Structure 1
Amino acid sequence: MPAFADFDRRNYPTVDVATGYDGWADTYERTVMDEMDAALLDRLRRPDWAGVRQAVDLGCGTGRTGAWLRSRSSAEIDGVDLSAGMLARARARGVHRTLTKADVCATELPSSTYDLVISSLIDEHLPDLLPFYTEAARLAVPGATFAQISYHPQFMMVTGMPTHYTPAGGDPIAISTHLHLLSEHITAGTDAGWVLTEAAEALVDDAWLAAKPKWAHLRGHPFTMALVWTLGGIGAAPHASRHARNEGNRP
């Protein structure tokens, strides 16, 4: 499979996930646009948001995704993130029942608990997708929904841009970034017991270009994608190891 390093055009200094998001936490809300994820969640038809009772927000970050879900559901929402700085922001937001500092691939939350697993823009920090999908399956009840927003691999390959932020008075810093093809998602998801039930893509359009006019040459390119899964079996795939710990969390 191709690696993001094969396409990286920025070559910024790179830090691990916890370090990067701790450094980005204070300015994150000013740099992430709803067109990246919330607008795509709004387009999904399959999830019954209003019917969700127990949800886990993997890579909850500052609580953006949790707040989006809270506006559509009365569910109890538990959040998980690797960054203490991002969790502090989520705590101030007040939409989660609990917030846990943990790896999204090994949360230590109770098994077979949630009828919705949701994540947004975090899988690019995971070297391997199978432990992530496996942990999501462990947390879910049979028939649960897993709604996931990812950066589109085509966008990452065309732009060669890692996830990054610019600290005050400093130069851009990249956060460990990995490229995952759609086929990797499908293989990992199905191996973990999930059944794909919906997919959607967000394109670079007028709304996006209003904020990023210098990207006019990217008009029409896919930017992010949503995958919606239903848990087809009970628990995780037996061959998948929960001990394969990966970095990665985010709103």
Structure 2
Amino acid sequence: MSTLEIVVLALIQGLTEFLPISSSAHLILPSVLLGWQDQGLAFDLVLNIGTLAAVLIYFRKEVFSMSTAWVTSVKTKQQTQDSKLAWWIIWATVPAAAIGFFGKDLIETYLRSGHVIAFSTLIFGLLLWWADSQAKQIKTEYQSGLKGAMIIGFAQVLALIPGTSRSGITITAGLMLGLTRNAAARFSFLLSIPIISLAAGYDLLKFILSDLHVDWAGLLLGAGVSFLSAILCIHLFLILLNKVGMLPFVIYRLILAAVLFYVLF
């Protein structure tokens, strides 16, 4: 890949991974409109590492508090607010991790197409609008409960459908459960940590077992761009969320879906 392709794709990944607008819908556009080739396994791996590092660093205080509280809860069997949230996130990760692992080949064979992405971008964008417009916004992420966390976790399974948006569908579920916009977003971001870690670990294993030629300079550039764009995106999104709501992202998804329909159909 050229330097321009690396920077553009890394920017797309970093900016769209945590916004409710679908990274897969955006990553298909360069190949469809510009004829760019698939970025490949190694590049997917470093983009995941870059976005993972961004969310870990941004939420470092929360991650540290939850991790230490979780370890303590395992030893003492006593739960705190942070340990409960950690357990909820762990259990909420199981559905998408299991279905993603066992159904990955089927998903890539039958669902990874521009037509699926166009429809899911539209449908789940409208669902996000409905959830946001009806949201009671009375709970924090610490009040979601195990049942609520599992509902969000099963919603995350739908993100295996390209074009759905992992952050979009989990925030949608959180709003439906009565979480505030900020709480739904924070829960979604914290929930991304284990699932992105698992995806990166899976790609790393495949990379180790493969015999690929690696452009290390290009990979480092991609990781750095995805990291910087992702951490900036998280910061601005959480600042603007309560001011602008979800409507601008819904409108953007509808426009994107219209572009995809026009180009692909």
**TM-score, length-normalised on structure 1?**
0.30
Q: Which structure is higher in helix share?
A: 2
**TM-score, length-normalised on structure 2?**
0.29
Q: Which structure is higher in strand share?
A: 1
Q: Which protein is bigger by CA-based radius of gyration?
A: 2
Q: Which protein has greater RCO, CA pairs closer than 8 Å, 6+ apart?
A: 2
